[in-house]
Amino acid sequence: MSQDKPDIKEILVTVKQLLESIANKSQGGERYDALCGAFLLSVVDRELDFGERQDESQSAELKQLLGREGSLSDLYTRFCQQVRRGDMDEQWPAAFDFAFKQVIDKVSVTNPKYLAEIHRPD
Amino acid sequence: MAADSAQQTLIDDIVARLELALKRRYGEAASVENVAIATLGASNRTLLFDLVEPGSRRRLVLRQETLKSAVSPFISPHDQFEILKVVYGHGVLVPEPIFELEPQDDLDVGYVMACVEGETLPKTLLKAPEFAVARKRFAAQTGEIFAKLHAIDPGEVAFLEKVVDSIDPLAAQISRYDAYGEYHPGLDVGIRWLENNRPKAKPRVFVHGDYRNGNVILSPDGIEAVLDWECAHIGSAMEDFGWVCLRAWRFGNIDQPVGGFGPRDEFYQAYTSNGGQAIDEEEIRWWEIFGSLRWAVLNMMQADGHISGVRRALPFACCGRNTSMIEYDMLMTIEGHFS
In the Cβ-directed half-sphere of B318, how many Cα atoms lie within 13 Å?
15
| In a domain? residue B14 | yes
B 244-263 residues with CB < 8 A to A: none
pLDDT along chain B (339 residues), means of 10: 73 95 96 89 83 96 80 88 98 98 94 97 97 98 98 97 96 96 97 97 96 97 96 98 97 96 98 97 98 97 92 94 98 95
Flag if B328 and A107 touch (Cβ within 8 Å).
Answer: yes
Q: Has residue A117 got a pLDDT over 50?
A: yes
Q: pTM for this structure? A: 0.94
Same domain, B26 and B129: no
| In a domain? residue B109 | yes
- Residue B305's nearest CA partner among B295, B315, B316, B294 is B316
Same domain, B110 and B156: no
Identify the domain boundary among B88, B114, B140.
B114
Identify the domain boundary among B83, B114, B145.
B114
From A112, which residue of chain B is nearest by alpha-carbon distance? B325
Flag if B325 and A104 touch (Cβ within 8 Å).
Answer: no
Q: Which domain, by its residues, includes B20?
A: 2-114
pLDDT tens column, A23-36? 999 998 899 999 99
pLDDT for residue B2:
56
Could you give the CA distance from residue B201 to residue B215 in angstroms, rounded to a whole number?
28
pLDDT for residue B69:
66
From B328, which residue of chain A is nearest by alpha-carbon distance? A103
Sign of CA dihedral B85, B87, B92, B93: negative
Q: Provide ipTM, 2 decimals.
A: 0.96
Identify the domain boundary among B114, B131, B152.
B114
B324 vs A37, A40, A110: nearest CB? A110
Flag if B192 and A89 touch (Cβ within 8 Å).
Answer: yes
| DSSP H or E stretch at residue B196 | helix B185-196
pLDDT for residue B135:
98
pLDDT for residue A1:
83
| In a domain? residue B339 | no
CA dihedral angle for residue B170, residue B173, residue B175, residue B176, rounded to 10 degrees: 180
B 163-202 residues with CB < 8 A to A: 183-186, 188-189, 191-192, 195-196
CATH of the domain at B98: 3.30.200.20
Question: Count of domains in chain B?
Answer: 2
Flag if A88 and B192 touch (Cβ within 8 Å).
Answer: yes
B315 vs A36, A76, A115: nearest CB? A36
Same domain, B228 and B93: no
Same domain, B266 and B134: yes
